[in-house]
Structures are given as C-alpha cells and as structure tokens.
Chains A and B, each alone.
Chain A
Amino acid sequence: MKELALNILDIAQNSIAAGASQIAIAVRESMAADQLTISVKDNGCGMEPEFLAKVTDPFTTTRKTRKVGMGIPLLKMEAEMSGGGLRIESKKGKGTSLTACFKRSHMDRPPLGDVVGTLMVLIQGAPDLEFTYTKETDQSAFQFSTAQVRALLGGVSLSEPDVLVWIRGYVEEGELELL
C-alpha cells in the first residue's frame, strides 16, 4: 500500500464483510504530540478471542480464495516501523475497533494520502451503511456522517455519481477549514 488511506480502505472492507451497519473512521493529527492516529470501528460480527489473538499473523484470514491475509500485518509493520503501534479490540457479536498510531514526523511513516477518496469508494460500494468520518487536529475537528446526507436525499442512493461528487467536495472543503 502506497498510502495509509488505502490501508483504511482495506480495513473498512473487512468491516463491511463482517456485516457491520455502522463504520466510524477517524484520523487524528497532533502536531503537539507529533502523532498521527487512524482508527476504524464497526458494529460487525466481531471476533472470538482465539481468532483475535492471531489476527496480525499473515497466515490468518477469513477469506476462502487464498490462505494469506496481508492487510492487518502490513499495517502493523508500517505502524511499528514509524515509532507507533497497532491495537485491535473485538467482541464477538458486538464489533471491532482497530487503532494504528504513527510518529507523525518519522521518515518511514507512509503518507496519509487521499482519505476522502477512500470514503467515497466505501460509500459507493455500500451506500446503505452508516459511515462516519472524523478528522481532528490539535485545534479543531470536522465530522461527516452519511446519515445527515441520506436524510436530505429522500430515497436517492448515495452511490449516484452526482451525490458522491458532492460528498467529496463537501468533505474536502470541511477538511480545508481545519488548516
């Protein structure tokens, strides 16, 4: 993965596969603490403690096509290589929460990349789910929720190209105001 936004896409797709109806993505950039934190939380099927214990092993996966799952191990490696770490909490039947921390200024930290593009792709692929996206800095925060948009759309799908283009513009403008 060339950017952390692609890791977010990969992880959130696991949440969709886990049957989640609500997925919350958060990116926190702290200049003061020199830290970048990304988190993905869902209310999907969750994991048994035995599976959770080995979930960062590349030979652990739920998929049937291949016996390797590289998404979580690679994200863990990237976090640890840049002075941070990865934490996953999960309860069977309740959901899963993944948090990856990075030292923001570390030269090995991958770029954050196009998180809004990731959000757009997730909404496009699963327009009936509730996505929440939060971007936080030391000074302020911006939050976007598909629930707000859906209420205004009156039956028009969030996957319609015109709606997606509007969402991207709206979120990008909201993020710019944080600068």
Chain B
Amino acid sequence: MKSLEDLKKIREDMQKQMNLRAGDENRTRVVVGMATCGIAAGARPVLTAFVDEVSRRNLQQVMVTQTGCVGICRLEPVVEVFEPGKEKVTYVKLTEEKVKKIVSEHLANGRVVDAYTIGAAE
C-alpha cells in the first residue's frame, strides 16, 4: 500500500541526492515526442516506461522530458537522447520492450543501441 509516509521518505532521499548530483546542464536528457502523432503511435507507454526504468535503476544523472512533434510522424514514437559533450541519438518506432534495452545499454552503460536508431530505420 502506497502511503504518505513513503512519499516523505522519497522527499528526504531526493533532497539528499539533489545536493550531491550534477547541475541539469550536466545530466543526460531523454526527450519524448508527445504530440498527437506520438500519442496515437504509443508514446505514452514509452514515456512511462522510461520513468519506471530510470526510477528502478536510480539513474540520478538522467532527466526524462517531453516535447511536441519532432517532425517525423511516420517514425513515432520518437525519443532523442542528449548526453553532455556527445552527439544527439534519435531512437524511433519505440516500444516498452525497446525502452528497457535502451535504458540498460545506453543510459546505464553508455552503449548506443544502433538497431533502434533513425539511421537503422531509414
């Protein structure tokens, strides 16, 4: 049962981590396209899967955010990963299963999953 006490514990943990972790400009940003085209193609479960996996693995250096239409509606759900000092990686036609692999391979271990990138799809 989720209780308000659990939430207070999360608050305390988050406040400790916020003091320790890098500023937002030094964190990896995962940006999910959430326009109507993305929503209709399945972007909502993709976004919630990123949130779940990032929470489960306690990846403090990763931020999950949203944007509108990325402009490639036929390849939705589309997710862009911005790592400080590296080139942007665009993942396309994502599913919840693919998200798990991207989080474990790319976000946790720094290995881009080439098979899911726009380069492999085009």
- Do A and B pair up? The answer is yes
Is A141's CB within 8 Å of the partner chain B? no
Is A178's CB within 8 Å of the partner chain B? no
| A117-B48, A161-B52, A163-B14 known; A124-B66 Cβ under 8 A | yes
> Would you call the interface of chain B mostly helix, strand, loop, or mixed?
helix
Q: Which of B25-57 contact A (CB under 8 A)?
A: 34, 36, 39-40, 44-45, 47-48, 51-52, 54-55
- A162→B15 contact, CB < 8 A: no
Stretch in A104-112, A130-138, A165-173 touching the partner: A165-173
Is B115's CB within 8 Å of the partner chain A? no
Is B20's CB within 8 Å of the partner chain A? no
Number of A-B contacts (CB under 8 A): 79
Chain A interface residue count: which class? 20 to 34
Instruction: Type the 1/0 row for A150-179, where 1 means its CB is closer than 8 Å to any CB of B.
Output: 001111100111111110111001000000
Is A9's CB within 8 Å of the partner chain B? yes
Task: Tell me the complex Cα distance, A1–B49, Å.
Answer: 19
Q: Which of A1-38 contact B (CB under 8 A)?
A: 1-2, 6, 9-10, 13
